[in-house]
Amino acid sequence: LLDEVNQLLDFRKLDVNGHTLQPSVGDIVLFVKDLCNSFDELMQRKSIKLSFASSIDHLYARFDEDKLSKALLNILSNAHKFTPANGEVKVEMELIELPDNKTEKSIRIRISDSGIGIPTNKLDKIFERFYREDKSRARESGGYGLGLAIAKAITTACKGSIKVYSKKNEYTEFTVKIPVAR
């Protein structure tokens, strides 16, 4: 309940104050890996295999740890909620060059699961506030339809993007792309 109240407050702050970024320098690869590791025990309780892979070992960059963690935690939390026992959640990370700009780079983080999936005709709605695809299942898991709206608002504030790909009863994959300054 406290997590849900905090999410509502975060969402309200984003609405009222806009998106004030507070970037700091850190190892973004280690940061995302540690975030994934914080889900290890939770995933093990449901016998979900959690894996992390990165095309680079370390990257020291300027990014907003608080905002990035909120976005990724919401996605990982959904992956846990909607992946059945003995399923799989993968987090993959890579550094990509922007085609029109050789000096700027972006980090692409893919979070995929072998969960229940999302119907194709609902994909454009999942980033809306209070939207829940399966209301009965969301109610069981304690969701209020704010997590992905927050993730979208945060990635947009970071001048990034978030996309979703899914096939009902097979998989869901979220791709978060954010620019990084070394």
Q: Evaluate whether 85 touches 51 at the Cβ level (below 8 Å).
A: no
pLDDT in the model for residue 174: 96
Neighbours of 71 (CB within 10 A): 26
Residues 6 or more apart from 42 whose CB is under 8 A from it? 80
Check residue 89 and give its pLDDT: 97
Q: DSSP secondary-structure letter at 181? A: B
In angstroms, rounded to a whole number, what is the distance separating the alpha carbons of residues 69 and 20?
A: 15
Among 39, 21, 48, residue whose Cα is nearest residue 75: 39
What are the residues facing 138 on neighbouring strands? none
Residue 146 tokens read as 């704010």
Tell me the mean pLDDT per 10 residues along the chain, length 182.
54 55 87 95 95 95 88 92 95 86 83 92 81 52 70 88 93 93 66
Look at residue 133 in the predicted model and tell me its pLDDT: 61
In order, the DSSP letters of 94-157 are: EEEEETTEEEEEEEEEEEEE-S----GGGGGGTTSTT--SSHHHHHHHT--S-HHHHHHHHHHH
Residue indicated by tokens 């740890």: 65
How does DSSP classify residue 67?
H
The residue assigned the tokens 């892979």 is: 53
The CA-atom distances, in angstroms, between 66 and each of 39, 146, 164 are 17, 17, 22
Instruction: Give pLDDT, residue 136.
Output: 46
Q: What burial class does residue 157 get, using C-beta atoms within 10 Å of its C-beta: 0-12 exposed, 13-18 middle, 19+ buried?
A: middle
pLDDT at 123: 85
User: Which of 180, 179, 162, 146 lies closest to 13, judged by CA?
Assistant: 146
